[in-house]
């Protein structure tokens, strides 16, 4: 490896140590690369998050690009009242919902045949395979959740955000988020409960 | 379902939200040890939570950042081109308005303006004698060649005076 590449790698590692707000500040002071460090930090999360709504990879990538474009345009007016992650998930949520409304449908309502997944006792050699199948079933059931329950559920269980942050993203009270999570979990429990063999 | 179980269902949710106090957590665990129905529910909810976290995350394509960079650059170029066009149009409008304003100022100065502007004496710096009481020409007398000579004669006479 050339010394220049080593230096670049070192720079990238240093960039990784910065908080989101540090990177925003650096960008606002003229360091363009800081913005792309933020992009690299969040691109997978945002694509994954949007995919859980639209259930189409190409559209998820397209909407993620649009999310970052909006952030880029918003940057000169950036206010540090919110966490950067709150802002980006908020934009991604709004874009996803706008897309679903525009399409006039909630994509991802097709059901997976679950009879093959029914299991009372899991044979040890097949356990891994069955768990993978169960994950697919769970994924499908998450997609079938009404959007008001799906949003907080994905933000909490997949993106590991705090309740207060989810409340800010969705623009509702913490209590509302909690009750929606409660409802989402109960729906999933009803749908998947019999297949856990508990 | 017992009334107390409803309360512990709420605590299960708080536990999964990682939004529970230590005392509540201890109370929940004690209840779960005693209540079979709640224990089953709690196990199911925990499995759902664990499995959800294990679901493979969808990743952005490798060229995601490059695509975004291109998009941002092309938007900026479009923006500057638009600005260029806007400035050219604005400058043209300003020049047109200025030209119109200047020309109309000179033309309107003449009080007798009736669609055929006369050259202002001040502006041209040429003293043009104005013949008063000019005899009107009858239509039958109109003969371009003769009229031209007639007017030429009158003009030269006036100038010589």
CATH code: domain of residue A22: 1.10.1740.10
Q: For residue range A79-126, what is the model confidence (pLDDT) as tens digits? A: 888 889 999 999 999 999 889 888 875 543 333 333 333 444 444 556
For B48, the closest of A44, A160, A185 (CB atoms) is A185
Q: Which domain holds residue A14?
A: 7-107
Three-class secondary structure of residue A109 per DSSP:
coil
Q: Are residues A98 and A168 in the same domain?
A: no
Q: Are residues A27 and A94 in the same domain?
A: yes
- Among B46, B47, B67, most A C-beta atoms within 10 A, so best to mutate, is B47
Q: Does some domain include residue A1?
A: no
Q: For residue range A135-146, what is the model confidence (pLDDT) as tens digits? A: 888 999 999 999
Q: Are residues A77 and A26 in the same domain?
A: yes
Look at B58 and A189 and tell me if their CB atoms are within 8 Å.
no
Q: Does some domain include residue A142?
A: yes
Is the minimum CB–CB distance between B52 and chain A shorter than 8 Å? yes
Q: Are residues A69 and A16 in the same domain?
A: yes
Q: Which of A74, A107, A140 is the last residue of a domain?
A: A107
From B88's Cα to the closest Cα of chain A, the distance in A is: 25
Average of per-residue pLDDT across B109-126: 53
Q: Which of A107, A139, A174 is the last residue of a domain?
A: A107
Give the ipTM.
0.74
B127 confidence band (pLDDT: 50, 70, 90):
low
B93 confidence band (pLDDT: 50, 70, 90):
confident
Q: Count how many domains chain A has.
A: 2
Q: Does some domain include residue A164?
A: yes
What is the model's pLDDT at position B129?
Answer: 61
Q: In chain B, what are the domain boundaries?
A: 3-54, 129-160
Q: Are residues A20 and A89 in the same domain?
A: yes
Q: Are residues A103 and A144 in the same domain?
A: no
Q: Does some domain include residue A2?
A: no
Q: Which of A55, A73, A107 is the last residue of a domain?
A: A107
Look at B52 and A65 and tell me if their CB atoms are within 8 Å.
no
Look at A139 and B55 and tell me if their CB atoms are within 8 Å.
yes
Is the minimum CB–CB distance between B73 and chain A shorter than 8 Å? no
What is the model's pLDDT at position B8?
Answer: 93
CATH code: domain of residue A129: 1.10.10.10
Look at A181 and B59 and tell me if their CB atoms are within 8 Å.
no
């Amino acid at each position: 490896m050339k010394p220049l590449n080593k230096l670049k790698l070192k720079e990238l590692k240093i960039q990784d140590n910065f908080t989101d707000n540090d990177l925003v500040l650096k960008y606002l002071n003229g360091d363009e690369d800081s913005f792309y460090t933020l992009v690299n930090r969040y691109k997978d999360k945002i694509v994954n998050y949007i995919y859980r709504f639209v259930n189409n990879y190409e559209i998820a990538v397209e909407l993620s690009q649009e999310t970052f474009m909006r952030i880029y345009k918003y940057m000169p007016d950036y206010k540090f009242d919110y966490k950067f992650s709150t802002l980006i998930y908020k934009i991604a949520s709004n874009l996803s919902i706008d897309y679903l409304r525009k399409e006039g449908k909630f994509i991802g309502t097709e059901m997976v045949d679950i009879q093959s997944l029914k299991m009372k006792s899991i044979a040890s050699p097949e356990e891994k395979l069955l768990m993978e199948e169960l994950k697919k079933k769970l994924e499908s059931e998450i997609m079938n959740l009404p959007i008001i329950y799906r949003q907080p559920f994905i933000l909490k269980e997949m993106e590991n955000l705090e309740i207060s942050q989810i409340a800010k993203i969705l623009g509702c009270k913490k209590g509302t988020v909690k009750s929606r999570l409660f409802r989402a979990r109960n729906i999933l429990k009803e749908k998947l409960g019999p297949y856990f063999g508990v | 379902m017992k009334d107390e179980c409803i309360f512990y269902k709420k605590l299960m949710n708080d536990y999964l939200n990682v939004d529970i106090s230590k005392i509540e957590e201890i109370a929940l665990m004690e209840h779960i040890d005693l209540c079979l129905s709640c224990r089953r529910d709690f196990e199911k909810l925990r499995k759902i939570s664990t499995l959800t976290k294990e679901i493979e995350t969808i990743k952005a394509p490798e060229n995601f950042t490059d695509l975004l960079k291109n998009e941002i650059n092309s938007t900026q170029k479009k923006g500057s081109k638009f600005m260029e066009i806007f400035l050219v149009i604005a400058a043209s409008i300003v020049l047109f308005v200025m030209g119109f304003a200047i020309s109309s100022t000179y033309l309107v100065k003449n009080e007798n303006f009736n669609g055929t502007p006369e050259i202002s004496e001040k502006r041209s710096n040429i003293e043009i004698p104005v013949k008063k009481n000019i005899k009107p020409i009858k239509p039958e007398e109109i003969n371009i060649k003769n009229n031209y000579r007639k007017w030429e004669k009158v003009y030269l006479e006036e100038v010589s005076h």
